[in-house]
Amino acid sequence: MALGVIFSSFGKALAQARDRSFRRVLWIGIGLTVALLVVVYATFLYFLQSVMGDTTTLPLIGEVTWINDLLGWSSFGLMLILSVFLMVPVASAITSLFLDEVAKAVEARHYPSLPPPPKMPWWDALRDTVNFLGVLIAANGVALMIYGFVPPLAPFIFWIVNGLLLGLEYFQLAAMRRIGRKAAKALRRRHLGTIWMAGILMAMPLSVPFVNLVIPILGAATFTHIYHRVAIKEGRV
């Protein structure tokens, strides 16, 4: 049942990419995703240099020479490799920026009878976004150190950890705009299994270079559908 809801929701999100309004958001999201990825990448390498010196060895990647890698042609390839890890905080940031606009496009097409969502205190959204981003960065920092000890398990650890964290964030933001922060957290707890599974299925393509550029926006649309499916099941709509 849960897989059916997830794949159906993703299929609807993917199909809506043909809509002009949704396509505009998608392209803007891709552009900002690339820009944020470059900024996060440069910041990450700068941090490594300040802590570990000019030359650093990363698990699964090898030796990184910060100034050469940042300024040389090899930087593009290294950024693609690191995007597997760096796209997680980028996806989190893109979600907080675009979820409302994506949700409006999804609801206009698939749930046109719904009333406009109530105004949400900006502080609630900001607080949850900052909290989620902090947890994501901390969890992935710890996971990055673990990858070097168990390389064969690294992809599975990445998908499980980030599937949970991203799924919680995406669902929380999608639900909160309709039912408020407290009710969204309660709904999230009752459907944790579905949310976690959907998050894992989003984290998997998020770890594929180029493909991961479209996942933040498609993920926001997918979790908007998942929220409404859950809400309908509980008789909230």
Contacts of 188 (CB under 8 A, 6+ apart): 168, 171, 172, 175, 195
The per-residue DSSP string of 84-117 comes to HHHHHHHHHHHHHHHHHHHHHHHHHHH-TTSPPP
pLDDT of res. 132: 81
Q: For 73, which DSSP code?
A: T
**Domain-embedded: residue 169:** yes
The model's pTM is: 0.81
**Domain-embedded: residue 39:** no
Q: How many domains does the chain have?
A: 1
CB 195 within 8 A of CB 139: no
As a whole number of angstroms, the distance between CA 216 and CA 222 comes to: 10
As a whole number of angstroms, the distance between CA 26 and CA 65 comes to: 34
**Residue span of the structural domain in which 178 resides:** 2-16+83-233
In the chain, % helix, strand, coil (3-state, to 5) comes to 80, 5, 15
Contacts of 14 (CB under 8 A, 6+ apart): 218
As a whole number of angstroms, the distance between CA 231 and CA 236 comes to: 5
The two three-digit tokens of residue 139, written as one number: 């969890």
Residue 67, amino acid: I
pLDDT of res. 73: 46
The two three-digit tokens of residue 86, written as one number: 């760096």
pLDDT of res. 9: 93
**Domain-embedded: residue 21:** no
CA atoms within 13 A on the CB side of 167: 24
**Domain-embedded: residue 118:** yes
As a whole number of angstroms, the distance between CA 219 and CA 9 comes to: 10
Q: At how many degrees (to 10) do helices 20-52 and 215-233 cross?
A: 120
**Domain-embedded: residue 34:** no
**Domain-embedded: residue 53:** no
CB 162 within 8 A of CB 133: no
Degrees to nearest 5, angle at CA 178 with 177 and 181: 60
pLDDT of res. 227: 95
User: Which parts of the chain sit beneath pLDDT 70?
Assistant: 1, 45, 48-78, 81-82, 121-122, 124-125, 235-237
**Domain-embedded: residue 77:** no
CB 100 within 8 A of CB 178: no
**Domain-embedded: residue 52:** no
